Structure 1
Amino acid sequence: MQSLNIQYNPRIDQLRWLAATIVFLFHFHLEYHGLTGASLSGPWTALITEGHTGVGLFFTLSGFLFMQIALVQKQIVYRDFLRNRVLRIVPLFLTIFLVATSIGRDKFQPQDLLYFFATNLGLAPTSGTVITGAAWTISVEFMFYMVFPFLARFAMERGVVYLGRLLVLMVFFKLAAYTVNDNSTLMYFSTFVGRFDQFLVGMAAAMLLQSRRALIERHAPWLLLVAAAVVVAATGWMHTVAPFGATPKSSFWIFWSLLESAGWAFFIVAWVSFGPRLPSLLQRALCQGGKVSFSFYLLHMGVLHLLATKVGLLHPTGMPWVDAAIMLVAAYGLTWALATISYSSIEEPFLRMRRSYGAKAAPQAAAQPL
């Protein structure tokens, strides 16, 4: 997706595609297994069976990208930054929220409208149905946006050590919260306390790349291989020690988000520094996947649940894994098509209303009509 504030890098869109695809595979596996279809097991398939790690990639990538923009622009105009974020997120998010409240109309209370700002907490309408359940991340993400311009300014003034101090504070908050929350795993999974460190790690990774760009680019091919191995191994370790949903309270999850984002930050830095271009057709496809990734992410659970309830298991070949692959490709293609329609009709018209939010472009931007 093109930005008005930094030179377009197709690697970022490719990473968005990867994050959305990992989450899709996670939910596809859950639905397919729920229909008594073939299922995966073991640490080496944890990138799918624990595919919620794609959310960690999203949060880390957000911190990385916005810090890259701040390093280019030097100063962020807060008003224009938030205006762009609202135009980017709210139209589709509001659509999903209205769908969720419509589904739950019989139990709706007027105060439920406040959940629009906190869909990751309590009994939010978006969490009340599998169709809209992925939307909980948006409220968390927007919290990051609200503080980012300040964080970027302080980090550029004081160096990456400033972000390190914030990470120490976050570890303290997690340790303290663990002692009083009996459902701490879900708290770490879906709240500011559990996820803010991932945004900070992404910001720190952008600063590291800026200061060591030549060295990292020179060694990017083997760094990418190591980073991929680290992500797979770390996710497998989590699946072995404390898989999500297995226990409501595990001390492993105090530090998991930090370890998870460190692995993804390593992968992000290596991938954006990797020089060789992908084959043209593949590059265009993955960049298109990144462009529609927001719609893909918010709509995929509805598609999967609809297919699971109305189509069920299909056995076109009689071979379980081949049948699973066929259903996977069909569900993925349908979700992609629906996401493309959603992007062009809901997201793109508002994206055209964005403007630069760098301080150098502020006077010109301010003169533009809303």
Structure 2
Amino acid sequence: MNATGQPGERLDECESLRGIAIVLVFFYHFLGSLRGYMPNPQASYASALFFGGSIGVDLFFVLSGFLLSLPYIRGSPMVLRQFFGNRALRILPMYYLMVLAGAAWKGDWRAAMHAALFQNISLDTLLPFGLVWWSLAIEVQFYLALPLAIWLARRKQGRYLLATVLLGLCFCYWKLATPAASEFWAALRSTLLGRWPQFAIGIAAAWTHHHYGPVLRSLSVRQRRWLGTSVALAAIAMIDVLATHSLRQFGMLQFGYWYANYLYVSILWAVFMVALTDLLPLFRKVVVNPVLHRIGLWSYSIYLVHAVCIVFAVVRLDIRPSDELLTHHFSNLMLFIYMAGATLLVSATTYQLIERPFLRLKHSRFLLIGKVREDVM
């Protein structure tokens, strides 16, 4: 379905949002390879979204909560074989290819076995291949938790238990999000306990889209256009303000000293997403277009491949991050073309040869779930 609510159509907005998310993540690692990830007191509002592009991961998490919960919010039955089969076909083939490549490159098959089971994954697991795998481990944990949450939400007594669980999760998040978190709680930040609010925000956005989307879409074109523009621009402006403050004060250290920033950014992404899907921002075609749509289709391959391409280029060219390096505009442009071109070439190839055959298998098994096409999930 799309913003008009017609069954069987694609949520093109979400595919383009995936494109935006992966572009932000790519710039985050590309610019980080030039300057590093330390705080930058001189960071400008104009560049903060790209230097602080880790917010693209927040958008990915919100999108997962939105797309995976929407069919069941619409009343589709939860069939575990169907749900887990689709999830496996979506993420495992490309992921296991990268695990095999990382194991062959590093010669550490023990770490590869743990990674294949989404265990003991950190930023340096089979580096550089495993630089982004920590987020996939959290995704898998969400896949395991979502069916149980849906089962509880659909039963009267289960809703009471679900509310109790949510209170416990709020307590856990409060303990680990504080800058003074103990070592025990801080270690849980890279698990679902540390990121569950982002998925929950996506689920809340899906609920809003389902229950209030028809009301928003019933407004006149003029009302939808100006309301959508105002809300979407306000959300992006606030995300930029948060990214600028985070970059100036913390840089990469945000993870330890301002962890709640991820929560604030996710709320704003959800607001932007609802405005884009149910209203008509004036700049909608800037966001929802064939280029970002194509990048969104390739986003999973790009996500798994881009860090490898960037790190290999950094090592091969002996790049040493510094503020001075950012002033070499022409050479940086050539470097960007080199890294981005290599990433897109490899990603387009792996999408066609690895992802697409399994996506076709997934589509042939279960095309529609709750009137939402499986190729957007």
TM bracket, shorter-chain basis: 0.7 to 0.9
- Partner secondary structure for residue 69 of structure 2: helix
- Partner secondary structure for residue 270 of structure 1: helix
Report the residue type matching 1:83 in the other structure: G
Q: Among the aligned pairs, what percent are the same residue?
A: 23
Structure 1 position 199, deviation (Å): 0.6
Structure-2 change in CA distance of 1:162 and 1:74 (3 Å): farther
Instruction: State the aligned residue count.
Output: 344
Residues 269-348 of structure 1 aligned to structure 2 (within 5 Å): 269-275=274-280, 283-311=289-317, 320-348=328-356
For residues 66-97 of structure 1, the C-alpha deviation after alignment (integer angstroms, 9 at most, x for no partner) is 12222335322111111011001000100111
Identify the residue that residue 266 of structure 1 maps to in structure 2: 271
Identify the residue that residue 22 of structure 1 maps to in structure 2: 24
Find the aligned partners of 1:324 and 1:184 in 2 and give their Cα distance. Answer: 40
Identify the residue that residue 196 of structure 1 maps to in structure 2: 196
Select between 346-355 and 68-77 the one with higher mean Cα deviation: 68-77
Structure 1 position 312, deviation (Å): 5.5
Find the aligned partners of 1:258 and 1:164 in 2 and give their Cα distance. Answer: 20
Structure 1 position 143, deviation (Å): 1.1
For residues 27-81 of structure 1, the C-alpha deviation after alignment (integer angstroms, 9 at most, x for no partner) is 00111225xxxx9942523322222111111011100111222233532211111
2:143 counterpart of 1:145? yes
Which of 336, 349, 355 aligns to 2:357? It is 349
Structure 1 position 266, deviation (Å): 1.2
Residues 1-370 of structure 1 aligned to structure 2 (within 5 Å): 7-33=9-35, 41-42=42-43, 44=45, 45-105=47-107, 107-109=108-110, 113-119=113-119, 121=120, 127-155=125-153, 167-177=166-176, 181-182=182-183, 187-188=188-189, 190-217=190-217, 218=224, 219-245=227-253, 249-250=256-257, 252-253=258-259, 255-275=260-280, 283-311=289-317, 320-354=328-362, 355-356=365-366
For residues 262-317 of structure 1, the C-alpha deviation after alignment (integer angstroms, 9 at most, x for no partner) is 1111121112224379659972211111101000010001111222222456xxxx
- Partner secondary structure for residue 244 of structure 1: helix
Report the residue type matching 1:209 in the other structure: H
Find the aligned partners of 1:348 and 1:134 in 2 and give their Cα distance. Answer: 21
Structure 1 position 241, deviation (Å): 4.5
Report the residue type matching 2:299 in the other structure: S
Unaligned segments of structure 1, at least 5 residues: 362-370
Matched-pair contact (CA < 8 Å) for 1:227–1:266 = yes
- Partner secondary structure for residue 22 of structure 1: helix
Report the residue type matching 2:263 in the other structure: L
Structure-2 change in CA distance of 1:184 and 1:46 (3 Å): farther
Matched-pair contact (CA < 8 Å) for 2:74–2:210 = no
Q: CA RMSD in A?
A: 3.6
Find the aligned partners of 1:123 and 1:42 in 2 and give their Cα distance. Answer: 28
Structure-2 change in CA distance of 1:123 and 1:332 (3 Å): closer
Find the aligned partners of 1:180 and 1:46 in 2 and give their Cα distance. Answer: 27
Find the aligned partners of 2:305 and 2:129 in 1 and give their Cα distance. Answer: 8
Report the residue type matching 2:193 in the other structure: V
Find the aligned partners of 1:112 and 1:298 in 2 and give their Cα distance. Answer: 15
Select between 68-77 and 83-92 the one with higher mean Cα deviation: 68-77
Structure-2 change in CA distance of 1:193 and 1:11 (3 Å): same
